Amino acid sequence: MNLINIFARGNQELFHSAFLGWLMDKSAQHGFGSKFLGAILTRCGLGGLYNPDSDFEILTEHSEGRLRFDIFLRPRDPGVGRRGIVFENKVKSFGLHSQLQQYRNAGYDVAALALLPETLDEEARAQFPVVNYSDIRDILGGIKLSKENHFHFLVREYRSYLDKVLAAYDALRGYCRRELTFATFQERVSLAVAETPLRDNDIRTFTFFYYENLKRYLAESARELVFGELGYEEAQQQNSATRWISQKNVQGPPFMEAIIYNPFGPEGYCMHPEFKEEYPFQVAPRIELWLDLERLRQAADDSELAGKIMLGFWGDGIIQMLRNQGRLNALQNRRNLHVEEVAVKDIPFAAMAERLRNMMTRVGDFRPVG
């Protein structure tokens, strides 16, 4: 069992920030000098602004005024002419570009460290340099370790921990892309999570990772299932549709949903005309999964349940009409009038797209999308 798991530090951003800050310190007892920091600066494109051999004060969980930095590299030499680098570290929490922009606006150079690209929003990935933990693993894999230095045992354990954690996400993505059979998926997950207790936040992160990759698949291969590009408020104000929005830290399973504020729009998804009524209503497809990889690796086959998909409505008139017709199956549910169970065999992206498509055509059709 890996040392990081024994001490239950895998989910702790404070631990990762402290460990990575230690690796960035050229004078620390790991004996790497500036190799690790130099590689990090190169990966995030700041090597031309900062010399890794310079003298830095490396601070973790550091506050300056109202700002709080996960890792802060402050040059000791005022001749550098820059305030320093803020590394925002995201392990299993979600990072927003607005937070990074706040640091940049205050005059700092900013980069993100992310367990997965999916732990940062699209704007953050587009506007700021990102070093993924897979990059960190590869950097450490290129540094020679010695049995003579007992600190290298910690580095070796950390590298092994990253290998296993990232392998679990790779296996999930490979199965969902149909690059792996279910049996191979189970085999790889078994190697990745063996003797690793999965906590609630681990399962939520696996599920959120799935949603973010499913969104990418829909945008590339099932455009008719991309209903809009707006957030909740903008879509409501413009009587349009939201993009697919995923939520991780909520009561109940993490979910992914879209809301169509005008289900009789000129293109894309359109409710059947028979449901057009005097008062406006909205349609909301939703996915709720709980991807506990420990449970899935022990499943007898791919018929194991993984969650559900739903079709919800807002508007008393349409709800009563659909209930009277009996066309949907969750008649006692206040909002989600139709619910279908999802098995593991349904979570590959193409299969999930087909399930969503079939569910929505119960009460509507798809028009060509530009």
Q: Number of C-alpha atoms within 13 angstroms, CB side, residue 70?
A: 23
The helix (H) or strand (E) run that includes residue 312 is: strand 305-314
Query: Is residue 264 domain-shared with residue 315, that is, in the same domain?
Result: yes
Query: Is residue 322 domain-shared with residue 225, that is, in the same domain?
Result: yes
| pLDDT value, residue 370 | 60
| pLDDT value, residue 256 | 97
Query: Is residue 147 domain-shared with residue 203, that is, in the same domain?
Result: no
Task: List the structure tokens of 133.
Answer: 């933990």
| pLDDT value, residue 111 | 96
pLDDT in tens, 189-241: 999 887 777 889 899 999 999 999 999 999 999 999 999 999 999 999 999 99
Query: Is residue 230 domain-shared with residue 277, that is, in the same domain?
Result: yes
Mean pLDDT of the chain: 91
Give phi and psi for 342, each to the nearest 5: -120, 125
Range of the domain at 77: 3-172
Give every strand in the sheet of 56-64, ordered side by side.
56-64, 67-75, 85-90, 109-114, 130-132
| pLDDT value, residue 276 | 82
Helix axes 200-221, 151-176, angle to 10 degrees: 50
Query: Is residue 258 domain-shared with residue 134, that is, in the same domain?
Result: no
pLDDT in tens, 36-77: 999 999 999 999 999 999 999 999 999 998 999 999 999 998
| pLDDT value, residue 31 | 93
How many domains does the chain fold into?
2
* Of 187 and 196, the one with more pLDDT: 187
Q: Is the CB of residue 182 less than 8 Å from the CB of residue 345? A: yes
Query: Is residue 160 domain-shared with residue 215, that is, in the same domain?
Result: no
pLDDT of 10 higher than 60: no
Question: In which band, very low, low, confident or very high, does the pLDDT at 97 lie, cut at 50, 70 and 90?
Answer: confident
Query: Is residue 203 domain-shared with residue 331, that is, in the same domain?
Result: yes
What is the mean pLDDT of the segment spanning 114-134?
92
| pLDDT value, residue 328 | 81
pLDDT of 8 higher than 60: no
pLDDT of 91 higher than 80: yes
| pLDDT value, residue 306 | 97
pLDDT in tens, 22-44: 999 999 999 999 999 999 999 99
